[in-house]
Chain A
């Protein structure tokens, strides 16, 4: 087996001394495609923030056996301010690291890379539009491009399917299928039905984390993992939506 990109051992964390996640053990390998599921408030976003180094840990250990990894991050929709005066192009360009911290401008080759990225996802016609004027799908495409532009080793998507139409969702999933050949992916969702067919393994996050080494998961197992689900039948695949905390 190959060397993992990252290893979490017995990690716990929280906010203002309130623990929201504990006993997290997880290894992420370069060819992983992990579906991260769990109820709202279960700690999914907190988990990815630990991985990204945005959230300090209370206990345990997180390490990167093959050195610091390049990450691509698509934050949860509620975390970005759509009214901020910034253009599509500037957002995508923000995914590129500056070579010189004392003169952090883009090199001409980096500018070309931005052009290519915009072309690839079809955002070129709206590159100078402020993000506030985009549709939900275009906005997610913008953030996906920002995450992908440096060719990350680990792509983390925090609920990329919220506030987008079904067409874009399908397009997104076919991209992810292709991308999963080149990079590790963690796809966060509170909707297991739609992501299960695509991912290879599943991590259930609800205060603690249970790792399920396959994408076949039964309701009984989810119960054992403390990830309650509801079954809503629509379409050919049983479409399971996890129960929200606040509905209970």
Chain B
């Protein structure tokens, strides 16, 4: 049984899927920890769904759909950051508008594209089992650049997320860092849509991170924990998908959630035992 399970690694497509899952987990560990810490996961949702409009438009114009998604995602992210900085519009309503408008535009463009109808399921649920060399290279380059960025600029990234006003009094270019992080968030989300799809992408940016925060509430430690938990959970999910013959990205999310629940339960149990020891 075990050897049968691992024999799947002999297939190129599965090895690619595992590599994509691991790289996506690494990207999401940094960007997701930033999002969860700043409590802006909802903005991630807005970016994700708005990017569907870009996919539709790119189809209509005969361009690469992921390039279209990237343009829409970056514009949405910058727009939301701009609105929240200006404090003009209530952020959550603005996000809700972009969220649904993006989905609507996507559907409309796909509908009016003559002839060929693309497989919407690919975008909604990703296609991790068909990632190619090009996709992997893109994921690899992005994750390496992101790691370098986070290591070199860790202090200003952390401080502008935690207390932007204080950071500004220390001469940090807060707006520049915030806008740059918006662009990074948008690109990270679009790259992950390729693997896990629009519907599920937010979970790889949040579930491993909140799981990691059970162990530590130190930003610089949350990131590696989230990467490890994300990679472990998603590879386990991929293997389960193969064995049980269920959709891969859904299995990944399911495993990440189960992992969270088990760890949460264990931590509650341990805390209870400790408390009893102290009182008894």
Contact = CB atoms under 8 A, between A and B. Distances in A.
Nearest to A89: B218
Contacts, number: 80
Interface residues of A, number: 34
A1 interface: no
A25 interface: no
Interface residues of B, number: 31
A132 interface: yes
A73 interface: yes
Contacts of B167: 94
A38 B166 CA distance: 23
A80 B167 CA distance: 12
Contacts of A106: 155
Interface of A is mostly: loop
Interface in A65-102: 71, 73, 75, 79-81, 84-87, 90-91, 93-98, 101
Interface in B18-56: 33, 37-39
A167 interface: no
B87 to A, nearest CB: 7
A86 B170 contact: no
Nearest to A68: B171
Nearest to A152: B169
A66 B165 CA distance: 24
A94 B170 contact: yes
A141 B78 CA distance: 36
A95 B155 contact: no
29 contacts: A16-B88, A49-B165, A52-B169, A53-B168, A54-B168, A75-B165, A79-B163, A81-B39, A81-B162, A84-B37, A85-B33, A85-B213, A86-B158, A86-B162, A86-B218, A87-B218, A90-B218, A93-B155, A94-B155, A94-B158, A94-B167, A94-B170, A95-B170, A104-B152, A105-B152, A130-B217, A130-B218, A133-B217, A146-B166
